[in-house]
Structure 1
Amino acid sequence: MWDAVKLNSADEIGEKRHYLKTADEYAFLLTIIYSTVSNILTKEDWSGIQKNDWGKSDKPGAMNDTNKSMFLNWIRNYVQPAFHSHIENMLRDPYEYAKTSTTQPYLSEMLDVQTEVTRF
């Protein structure tokens, strides 16, 4: 995603802010998924996702047709229902997700943190 966003000036940074936001939130989302994955997926499942040859997919994100069910299971448990499609789109193709709108909700608004708090 970073390769697709060239920033040469402060004005361009302002214009591309939504791409940078999406890149940050995508990385943070993958970190959150990995840190909570033991509650939903086995480490072997996650290992298979990490080893996925993303270059063979027409979408650059971590989620694809092969591993979609594992991600959807996590999404159902950790994302507010109103935002399931947002997270699916970000995981499938973060660059396209950033292009769709400059007013996407923040990741923190989409997550269902109460789910995690009640597990402890």
Structure 2
Amino acid sequence: MGTRIVRLTISVEELPRALALYEGVLGLIRRYAVEGLVMLATDSDVGGSGIEVLLHERIPATGDAGVAPSFTVADVDAATEAAVEAGATVIDEPADQEWGERQSVIRDADGHVLCLVAPL
């Protein structure tokens, strides 16, 4: 069996606030929730090959040196605007990139850096 990324665990201070972005704006699918944890995924197939995103309610320790996951969205500009409404701040405004994507870079309300991307 080869190595692949199966899960990103993201520390968040408040689950409802984080869910507004990760579930509401990015459209990640909720697989389950227990006290202090919500498991989301990039696809709705429980046995699928999507990546799990575990929101863990605890005080985040973040920084720009951390890993910045990229999430595909249908419309980078609209998703960036919705992310700001959900509490994110913009680091890099939406722009076309030479590698063939439109991308914005945001910081969620807990300080994590995320990239929102769509093919050109």
- TM-score, length of structure 2 as denominator length: 0.28
Higher helix share: 1
TM-score by length of 1: 0.28
Query: Quick one: higher RCO (CA 8 Å, sep 6+), 1 or 2?
Result: 1
> Which has the higher Rg, Structure 1 or Structure 2?
1
Larger strand proportion of the pair: 2
